[in-house]
Amino acid sequence: MPIRSKVLSSFYGQLVAGVFVPSRGASSLGQITRVAGTVSGLSSDLQGSEYHLLDVPSSAIMLPTSAIRTTAWSFAQAVIGVDGDTDALLDVAKATGGATGNTPITIFGAIWNKPIWQQLGMAADPGNPITLKVFTEADATVDGQIDFDLQFANHV
């Protein structure tokens, strides 16, 4: 079964000898960083395909202004999470969210203002960047896409 991946963005720092070194720029000072993009799926993509959204420091806080539009996705279900917990961030029928998209974080909700590792339900901070991916649970039916506009602030 083929697996498709598409890297659309990179994390806010770099890996040096296997250790994450945070940026010295705006994101390290707690300023908001915005990552927007599109993941494209093909009608020939199969169950088990994975699409790389981005790597984000485990200390980053996903903001409630983040949105993911799934209405044009290639698959019936839009599933976004991490290896080992594929639906940690979002698991919705593609028709949900409408034109403004789905908002995975609710202001003042239980996971608001928490580092992303807690927002994803992880038991402990992994101490390295977290890779967010779109996962597929069935074969595609049409060519399509997921649009995302994810906004983060570093946890300070």
Q: How confident is the model at residue 1 (pLDDT cuts 50, 70, 90)?
A: very low
Look up the CATH number of the domain holding residue 100: 2.60.120
pTM of the model: 0.81
In a domain, 1, yes or no: no
Q: What is the mean pLDDT of residues 79-98?
A: 94
In a domain, 11, yes or no: no
- Residue 36 is encoded by which pair of tokens? 């927007």
CB burial of 40-52 (b: ≥16 within 10 Å; e: otherwise) equals bbeeebeeebebb
Chain segment 115-140, per-residue pLDDT in tens: 999 999 999 999 888 999 999 999 99
State residue 7's pLDDT score: 40
Contacts (Cβ under 8 Å, ≥6 apart) of 24: none
With a cut of 60, say whether residue 60 has pLDDT above it.
yes
Residue range(s) defining the domain that contains residue 135? 30-154
CA dihedral (118, 108, 69, 99) in degrees, to 10, reads 180
